[in-house]
Amino acid sequence: MWSDPEVIKDEKIRTSTNQEVARRMRLGGLFYVVCCSAITQMSTALSGQFQGILFISIFIVLSVIRFAVCHFALKESVTRTRVVEHSISIIYIATATTWSLLLIWIFTSLGVTEHAATLAVIATVGFIAGGIAATAPRIRLMLAFGFLIYIPGLLCLAFLYPNDSGWILIVIGLAYFTFTMHNGKLQHDNYWAARQQTLLLEKQAIDLERAHQQAVAANKAKSAFLATMSHEIRTPMNGVLGMTEILASTALTQEQKNHIDVIRNSGKTLLRIIDDVLDLAKLEAHKLKIVNRSFDLESFISEIEHLFTPRAKEKSLDFIIQTDCPLSRRLIGDPDRIKQILFNLLGNAFKFTQSGEIRLIVQCSPLAKQEGIILQLTVSDTGIGISPENQKLLFQEFIQVGESSQHIQGTGLGLVITRNLLALMGGKISITSQEGKGSQFTASIPLRFDTDLSNVTLIQQPETPTLQTSTTNHCRVLLVEDNEVNQIISKAILKQLGCEITLANDGQEAIEAFSSAPFDLILMDCNMPVMDGFEATQQIRNLEHQQNITTPIPIIALTAHAFDEIKQQCLDAGMNEYLSKPFDKHQLAKLINQLLPEHEIKNPPIRTTS
């Protein structure tokens, strides 16, 4: 009970406890010097005596040592903990012993009724209270100090007290001593309760930090795993879909065309699943970014109609688009993510509707100060509908609600991603549905008007598609690719686009080819042996700088990675554009037209919203 807790055995705790006691005792020695001097000067019998001067000198020395120990305790390392601890104990025991001897000398020299003796008693009461408060963290030192500074003086005072009343003085003195020690014990308990609470909080903070680091590491591991798996899946999928496209351009029977359509659609479904998982991972890691740019709403809706009309015909459904949004200005937003939202909503509508119609309603309402609009996209269907109970589960990951939907393929991530994308754009989504009659999803997205006048004039210019059947100005392309399957596919696509192709198997060969022959365009794979695409691109840019080439050669990155960080890394390395595998000839043709408008390709890309 009257001992220090086990936790004080820890070196770090012992050091901090010694420092706490040192802070409390720093100025205490000065009061002993002042009180000793005042008491000896108050009495003419004590003033000037050798003993008085000796006691004052001892307290001065102890005060100086006390300052030195305090400085030492607050500055030294934990390896000197025991030295500090013993030094503090010696100072307090020496001080208490010296004060007791001073009291005995005063009482025996003057008696107990002199004013100097009374002042000594009052000083003793103050010293025992102050000393106990200072040494409370170390209870054994507190007990030793209290006993040495108080009990000898009390016994001497009682022995010399007149009229045989000394025993009464002892009883009162011991009662005060007991009260003071009990109060010191309470201070000791409170101090260590506070310390243990602090230690507990520190441990919890360490545990939380460790858990945070583990979560960060797990998230990084998950991101690395997803990136690796995405790359490893996209690489063979590029072979599957690429060869399917090449095969589809040959003479086939109707049955063979049907088989190819199955392969193509299955591959694209797998890619959509991969993209959904990657998007969810990026949303959870707060790494998915909204890229705002100018786009034309009318062209955007026309593209949606163009993409989903064939699907409606396949399922014998009516696909109706109603637009109530007369705009003469372009909008600022992320058309790719808005398209993804519509793909998810319309995709679900087609998936769960077997007969009837699917309707897309596009409405606009003005924002405050006429700075933009709230784009409202409503997708309604006549499908299976959703019960009120299942509507609560719609936006949970990997959930497909209702028994009637269990036979329908899907990851259950589309609506989760849709809701999170809308939240990133400051929008929201709502649902109304009746089981057996259909559902209606409404997405609202705030968009600003484009104030760039060049974009306004741009949309007024008529488009002239570059549809050509042949070309005499062949585009000379350096294809840098180490994978044999990807080489076959890329070469076949480039041949269909009327390009002249030179092949390099790694970055080092690409630099040598670039230095020995002129090219109009480089298609650069990123991950290759010997030298990767990033380093090769940087060296090519350095060569252009050394040769004072004013028009750098366009470089398109080809990679199976689908993360924004990789895209940014490509751009930082000096590449102009980024194409994620698997890609088709329309995507590649669009980039060639964009980077090399002077070259005309055989098959222009499908027109997309920009």
In contact, 409 and 269? CB cutoff 8 Å = yes
> Is 402 within the bounds of a domain?
yes
> Is 101 within the bounds of a domain?
yes
> Is 210 within the bounds of a domain?
no
pLDDT of residue 453: 54
Tokens of 155: 């016994």
> Is 173 within the bounds of a domain?
no
Q: Are residues 519 and 417 part of one domain?
A: no
Q: Looking at residues 241-254, what average pLDDT do you find?
A: 87
pLDDT of residue 503: 95
CA atoms of 105 and 52, how far apart (whole Å):
9
Residue 464 has pLDDT above 70, yes or no: no
456 falls in which pLDDT band (50, 70, 90)? Answer: very low
Three-class HEC string of 176-199: HHHHHHHHHHHHHHHHHHHHHHHH
> Is 429 within the bounds of a domain?
yes
Side-chain half-sphere of 180: how many Cα atoms within 13 Å?
Answer: 25
398 falls in which pLDDT band (50, 70, 90)? Answer: low
Q: Looking at residues 310-339, what average pLDDT do you find?
A: 89
Which residues lie below 8 Å from residue 332, measured CB to CB, with a gap of 6+?
292, 293, 294, 372, 447, 448, 449, 450
- In this predicted model, which residue has the larger pLDDT, 448 or 405? 448
Q: Are residues 410 and 326 part of one domain?
A: yes
pLDDT of residue 518: 92
Q: Which helix (H) or strand (E) holds 319?
A: strand 318-324
> Is 591 within the bounds of a domain?
yes
The residue with tokens 């399917």 is 244
Residue 581 has pLDDT above 70, yes or no: yes
CA atoms of 149 and 136, how far apart (whole Å):
15
What secondary structure does DSSP assign to 155-175, as a single string? HHHHHH-STT-HHHHHHHHHH
Domain span including residue 247: 228-284
SS3 state of residue 592:
helix
Q: What is the mean pLDDT of the chain?
A: 85
Q: Are residues 585 and 536 part of one domain?
A: yes
pLDDT of residue 238: 82
- β-pairing, 357-366 with 293-295? unpaired
410 falls in which pLDDT band (50, 70, 90)? Answer: low
Q: Looking at residues 127-148, what average pLDDT do you find?
A: 92
In contact, 418 and 341? CB cutoff 8 Å = yes
In contact, 73 and 84? CB cutoff 8 Å = yes
pLDDT of residue 458: 38
Tokens of 31: 């009061």
Query: How many domains in the chain?
Result: 4
Please give the model's pTM, rounded to 2 decimal places: 0.54
Q: Are residues 94 and 12 part of one domain?
A: yes
Residues forming a β-bridge with 500: 476
Lowest mean pLDDT among 87-91, 495-499, 562-566: 562-566
Q: Are residues 443 and 323 part of one domain?
A: yes
Which residues lie below 8 Å from residue 460, measured CB to CB, with a gap of 6+?
none
What single-letter DSSP state applies at residue 450? Answer: P
**Among 162, 183, 217, where does a domain finish?**
162
The residue with tokens 């991969």 is 274
Quote the distance between the C-alpha of residue 145 and its chain's center: 54
Q: Which helix (H) or strand (E) holds 429?
A: strand 428-434
CATH number, domain of 350, equals: 3.30.565.10
> Is 384 within the bounds of a domain?
yes
> Is 603 within the bounds of a domain?
no
CA atoms of 493 and 243, how far apart (whole Å):
10
Q: Looking at residues 486-506, what average pLDDT do you find?
A: 91
CA atoms of 343 and 3, how far apart (whole Å):
73
Q: Are residues 387 and 453 part of one domain?
A: yes
